[in-house]
Structure 1
Amino acid sequence: MTTRKDASFAYQAVYHYLIGLIEAATGAGEQKLPSLRQLALRLGVSVSTTKYAYALLEDEGRIYAKAKFGYFTRAVASAPLSATSASLLDSVFASARQPGMLALSSDAPAMLLSLQSPLLMIERELTRQYPQSHAPLYQPFGEAELRAAVAERYTRSAKNFWQAEQVYIGADLRSVFELSLTALDLNGSVALVESPCSWAILRQLQAAKIRVIEIPLGDDGRFDLPALNEVLTREPVRLAVLSSTVNIPQGGLMPAEDKQQICRWLAEREIWLFENDTWGEFCFSPSAARYRDFADPDRLLVFSTFDKIIGAEAPYGYVLCRQQRAQLQRSFLERGFRLSTIRQKAIARLYLSKRIDPHLKTLQTLLLQRMQQMQALLEQHANGRWQMVVPHGGASFWLKVLPPIKMRQVFERLLAERIVIAPGEIFSQQGAWQQHLRLSYTLDWDKDIAQALTALAQAIDAAT
């Protein structure tokens, strides 16, 4: 087992090293940062580790990438981050990665159990088999063996199958999502999303100048279907982004008949369905229906990433799409990803060796145990402060705080105690869910989680 106590946080050291470079460059205008390979050699880590650290900083808006030129700094304020000096989302994101913080806001299941050690062992074996001089520098759509492994993973029947050429591998989830929007000519359009919605998806839609319509989920994990149909009838929606199984971060599970009806309405209107499968494998119900079971195959794109299952050494994102092949290929060619062929082959071998399913079964068991452990603590500390619904999967609880409070005040107070929560409003563009928060149970359980929840209860009492 690889846990957060050994090699699983190598990227954090790289992240903090880069923070130092960025802060040193503040006020000096735009500065070019080291390339992925230069930084990997300098710090003695893998290229994938440096890529993951860069991706975190890019998501925070601290740096940006120029195609074929590398990464560059943005102007960053030198004052400490807080909810008043920067956006709340950026404060949550950056604070959770500071040393000594207890991040109750995290959502990384591989923290409990990763496959990084087997991955790196396979990579060493492959390095001996494929000398660098004989390996291609990069393959624009991803390594063929990995694309084939992903296609095989998603194939369910002779009628519902995928082929390797319908799979595209990119540097991370953000990149492949961005390229997919561009390739399908969806920038500047109208999108429907479930709410609460992943902040990463909301940020990407905003960057693509897409108008977002948020459809709230009930405590039962279901939409108000008549209201949803009315929105689809009234608005020029071209894209719907929905969680494949369990709704993230809410933790609900929509019935199969609801998903079938939604897919029927989307197909009638020729609306693209982007199925977020990032958490698709982390549903506690093995028979949960996925949207892709009912979707129009000509208007379906599935996107996900490897790091939730394998760990931070596998940050690559991927999409599966049967249509618009020429447009997707052009977008990926123009982006020119330079991904490690050997690392991709190693990930493929993990899948082809059938190690993923036993690993997932063990990881799901651990998640369920930690969820029940957190549930007991939350019930113990609730005392009328919050209402919770037991999640059907994922890695977190979605809590509704019952007394009217200012959640930012709670966030700030806990931050001073080196505890980070994820206020509900970061999961909405429209400022919804201000009485909610997300609490993870993929934590370092060697720390005093009960005391952290006591601090949360006290902060809520103080803000009431």
Structure 2
Amino acid sequence: MNFLTSTDKNLKYEAIAIALKSMIESKTLKAGDKLPSLRTISQEKKVSISTVLLAYELLENQGYIESRPKSGYIVRARKDDLKTPTMPKKTKLVSSFGIDERISSLIDSLQNPDILQLGTAIPEKEYLPIASLHKNLKRAILIADSHNYQDSQGNSELRKQLSLRSSFQGTTTYESQIIITNGCQDALNLCIKVLTKPGDLIAIESPVYFGILQNIQRLGRKVLEIPVDPIHGMSIRHLEEALNQYPIQCMVINPNFQNPTGSLLSDEDKKALVDLCVSKNIPIIEDDIYGDLYFNSTRPLSLKSFDKKENVYKISSYSKIISPDLRVGWILPGKRGPELLKELKLSRLALPSIPQIALSEYLKTSFEKNIKTLRRDLFSNLTRIRESVLKNFPESVSVTNPQGGLVFWIELPQKTDSFLLQNEAWKHNISIAPGPIFSGTGNFRNFLRLSGGIRLTSKVEEKIKTLGKLIHGLSKK
């Protein structure tokens, strides 16, 4: 059974566990299926039997497999196998937004060190390569020419590194096309300004990252929310119906480990989505900020990989895997790239050079090693947090099991109000992200987003137990 494409002779047990977990989650390996023998995997992957045994023991401890006498290892039937959060039933046109106050309160809580941030989509500091970043920041200070304004399009060496990494992911984008921005949200704003005008209708996901909603609202555009399946991503059927019914001018989508659901759009659906939008001449803004945080053997393709007509504008940053403080994002533009550059030059002279140079140096020297460690650590942590949630929350709760990214999307008992839960949680110094902030309609009242980037210490375990008790109490009321 050839379930890993990597030929790395130093493949660790975590990588084997990640690949098997992915097969179990995708139902390639079903409950009751027998896993390959230790010797088979050892010979196929050229690793020791003890390495394979460690991988199997990890999966056994996480409840995915079990050892049976004379039968080897078997995939376990898990109580949550068939229970996933529900998907919205229909497309919704949003004429006004009412979420800013709640989001402001959530952001304010980030500055309080006494509050445990169980709702954020940021890895804990201990997971990030801070030492490597500091080393490259010092190097950047020596390299930078601080007496001149930098190219408004962005540092050329950084654009070269991003072009190289883009080619590794199956997308040919030249250094001369790439645009550096002040973070991913800045990239989104720039694309919306150029690709649409005030009053235009933009198709987005439902649920959707609240920052996307806020940006669209501030720029005076309207949104149409397209249902997202918490496992498989945006519904292509609903999108097609919407494109035939509404005057959509643009769409924004996060296809790889979507925030807040963690869903992953299949390659077939990615191609179908791109082809559909091309046929309607609808530009796509693709947010691929989580694409590098995959837990199986290969990085998922971006929509840009299927873009033959320069219709996709891919935006991203490394805020989730290096540091949110760098504030460096970028755009791999489509055919209206020259217009983006023109708008850019009208709105700014240049960006700070030192963060750009530091990121460029980091990509050259440290990225591959550190990202592998981060993926391994996050995979283990998300698995443990999910098990804790299933153990401590009511049995009727449904929790996603993402193949990458940083967050869980949780459906609470029907009558549980996540805004009320947030208020009660704050009394215990716990912050969550209530479901309604991920929709302009106030939908998802009994949903919440939970972070997988907070290390599961005994303190965090206790806070999850407390949250579970609060949910039990609210669901009874």
**TM-score normalised over the length of structure 1:** 0.76
Matched, 1:199 2:210: yes
SS at match of 1:233: helix
Could you tell me which of 431, 446, 451 is aligned with 1:435? 446
- Does the CA contact (< 8 Å) of 2:253 and 2:287 recur in 1? yes
Cα distance in 2, alignment partners of residues 268 and 252 from structure 1: 25
**What is the rounded CA distance, in whole Å, between the counterparts of 1:399 and 1:85 in structure 2?**
19
> CA 1:307/1:110 → structure 2, altered by over 3 Å: closer, same or farther?
farther
Q: 1-side partners of 2:127 and 2:243: how far apart?
A: 41
Q: Is the 8 A contact 1:384 1:402 kept in 2?
A: no
- 2:377 match: 366
Going from structure 1 to structure 2, the CA distance change for 1:424 and 1:337 (only over 3 Å counts) comes to farther
Matched, 1:330 2:342: yes
Task: Please show how residues 39-58 of structure 1 align to structure 2 within 5 Å.
Answer: none
Question: Shift of residue 198 of structure 1?
Answer: 0.7
Using a 3 Å threshold, how does the CA distance of structure 1 residues 460 and 96 change in structure 2: closer, same or farther?
same
Residue of 441, 444, 459 corresponding to 1:448: 459
CA contact (8 A) 1:166 1:325 kept: yes
Which position in structure 2 is the counterpart of 1:100? 114
Are residue 122 (structure 1) and residue 122 (structure 2) matched? no
Deviation at 1:296, TM superposition (A): 4.1
Aligned counterpart, 1:350: 362
Partner secondary structure for residue 371 of structure 1: helix
Structure 1: how far apart are the matches of 2:99 and 2:200? 31
Q: Distance in 2 between matches of 1:447 and 1:254?
A: 35
Whether 1:301 aligns to 2:313 is yes
What's the CA shift for 1:261? 1.2
Residue number in structure 2 paired with 1:426: 437
Report the CA distance between 1:86 and its aligned residue: 7.4
User: CA separation in 2, counterparts of 1:140 and 1:450?
Assistant: 47
Q: Which residue number corresponds to residue 270 of structure 1?
A: 281
Task: Output the CA distance in 2 between the equivalents of 1:181 and 1:287.
Answer: 27
Q: Secondary structure of 1:169's match?
A: strand
In structure 1, runs of 5+ residues without a counterpart are 1-83
TM-score by length of 2: 0.74
Q: Distance in 2 between matches of 1:142 and 1:206?
A: 27
- State whether structure 2 residue 184 is matched by structure 1 residue 184: no
Alpha-carbon distance in 2 for matches of 1:245, 1:306: 15
Could you tell me how far 1:331 is from its partner in structure 2? 1.5
- 1:444 Cα deviation from its structure 2 partner: 4.6
Q: Distance in 2 between matches of 1:145 and 1:360?
A: 21
1: distance between equivalents of 2:212 and 2:205? 11
Structure 1 contact 110–309 (Cα < 8 Å) conserved:
no
Deviation at 1:197, TM superposition (A): 0.7
Match of 1:81 in 2: none
Cα distance, 1:391–1:87 mapped onto 2, change above 3 Å: same
Identity %: 21
C-alpha spacing 1:165/1:386, structure 2 compared with 1 (3 Å): same
1:350–1:224 CA distance, 2 compared to 1 (3 A): closer
Q: 2-side partners of 1:330 and 1:357: how far apart?
A: 34
The worse-fitting range, judged by mean Cα deviation, of 301-310 and 454-463 is 454-463
Partner of 1:225: 236
Determine the C-alpha separation between the residues in 2 that align with 1:86 and 1:244: 25
Structure 2 letter corresponding to 1:125: R
Task: Please point out which of 404, 423, 429 is paired with 1:412.
Answer: 423
Q: What is the Cα deviation at residue 203 of structure 1?
A: 0.7
Matches of 1:340 and 1:287 in 2, distance apart? 30
Is 181-190 or 122-131 further displaced after alignment?
A: 122-131
**Which residue does 1:151 correspond to in 2?**
163
CA gap of 1:212–1:296, structure 2 versus 1, over 3 A, is farther
Instruction: Give the match for residue 295 of structure 2.
Output: 284
Q: What RMSD over aligned residues (CA atoms) do the two structures have, in Å?
A: 2.2
Shift of 1:186: 4.1
How far residue 321 of structure 1 moved from its aligned partner, in angstroms, is: 0.5
Using a 3 Å threshold, how does the CA distance of structure 1 residues 242 and 342 change in structure 2: closer, same or farther?
Answer: same
The AA in structure 1 aligned to 2:301 is A
SS in 2 for 1:155: helix
**Structure index of larger Rg:** 2
CA deviation string 1:93-139 (max 9, x = no partner): 21132121100011112634223322332232343344634xx2332
Number of corresponding residues: 377
Q: Measure the CA separation in 2 of the matches of 1:365 and 1:450.
A: 20
1:87 to 101, 113, 116: 101
Q: SS at the partner of 2:331? A: strand
Q: Once the two structures are superposed, what CA deviation does each residue of 1:160-188 show, in whole Å capped at 9, x if it has no partner?
A: 41111211112222222212221234443
- Aligned residue for 1:109, secondary structure, equals coil
Letter in 2 for 1:99: P
